[in-house]
Structure 1
Amino acid sequence: MNAPRRRADAAENRARILQAAREVVANAEEVRLNEIAKRAGVGQGTLYRHFPTREALLAEVYRKDVDDLVAAAPGLLAEHAPLPALARWLDRVAEYAKVKRGVFAAVEAGLWQDLSAHSLGPIGETLSTFLDAGKAEGTIRPDIDACDVILLLGYLTRLEPAEWDARAHRLLHVILDGLRHHA
Structure 2
Amino acid sequence: MTQHTEQRPLRRDAQRNIGALLDAAKQVFGTSGVDAPAKEIADLAGVGVGTLYRHFPKRSDLVKAVFQAEVDATADAAPALAAAHEPVVALEKWLHRYTEFLATKRGLASALHSGDPTFDALPAYFMGRLGPAVGSLLDAAAAAGAIRAVASPKDLLYAVSKLSVTMNDEEPDHGRRMLDLLVDGLQHRA
**CA-CA distance at 1:162 after TM superposition:** 2.5
The letter of the residue matching 1:95 is E
The question of 1:101 aligning with 2:106 is answered yes
- What secondary structure sits across from 2:178 in the alignment? helix
The question of 1:42 aligning with 2:47 is answered yes
The question of 1:25 aligning with 2:29 is answered yes
For the pair shown, the structure with the greater C-alpha radius of gyration is: 2
**CA-CA distance at 1:93 after TM superposition:** 0.7
Q: Distance in 2 between the 1:169 and 1:2 partners?
A: 45
**CA-CA distance at 1:101 after TM superposition:** 1.6
**CA-CA distance at 1:26 after TM superposition:** 2.2
The letter of the residue matching 2:23 is Q
* Corresponding residue of 1:83: 88
Q: 2:132 aligns with which of 113, 120, 125?
A: 125
Q: Distance in 2 between the 1:142 and 1:160 partners?
A: 29
Q: Given that residues 96 and 179 in structure 2 are in contact (C-alpha distance below 8 angstroms), is that contact kept between their aligned partners in structure 1?
A: yes
Q: Given that residues 131 and 146 in structure 1 are in contact (C-alpha distance below 8 angstroms), is that contact kept between their aligned partners in structure 2?
A: yes
Q: Distance in 2 between the 1:115 and 1:124 partners?
A: 13
Q: 1:175 aligns with which of 165, 182, 187?
A: 182
* Corresponding residue of 1:72: 77
**CA-CA distance at 1:28 after TM superposition:** 2.7
Q: Tell me, which stretches of 5 or more residues in structure 1 are unaligned? A: none
* Corresponding residue of 1:114: 121
Relative to structure 1, the CA distance from residue 170 to residue 85 in structure 2 (aligned partners, 3 Å threshold; closer, same or farther) is same
**CA-CA distance at 1:143 after TM superposition:** 2.2
Please give the residue correspondences for 1:6-17 in structure 2 after superposition, counting only pairs within 5 Å.
6-17=10-21
Deviates more, 1:82-91 or 1:151-160: 151-160
Q: Given that residues 164 and 175 in structure 2 are in contact (C-alpha distance below 8 angstroms), is that contact kept between their aligned partners in structure 1?
A: no
**CA-CA distance at 1:25 after TM superposition:** 1.9
| TM-score, structure 2 as length reference | 0.87
Deviates more, 1:32-41 or 1:76-85: 32-41
Point out the structure with the larger helix share: 1
Q: Distance in 2 between the 1:86 and 1:25 partners?
A: 28
Q: Distance in 1 between the 2:26 and 2:171 partners?
A: 16
What is the CA deviation profile of residues 123-157 of structure 1, one whole-angstrom value per residue up to 9, with x for unaligned ones?
11111101100011000102222122122123157
RMSD: 2.1
| TM-score, structure 1 as length reference | 0.90
Q: 1:63 aligns with which of 61, 64, 68?
A: 68
- What secondary structure sits across from 2:9 in the alignment? coil
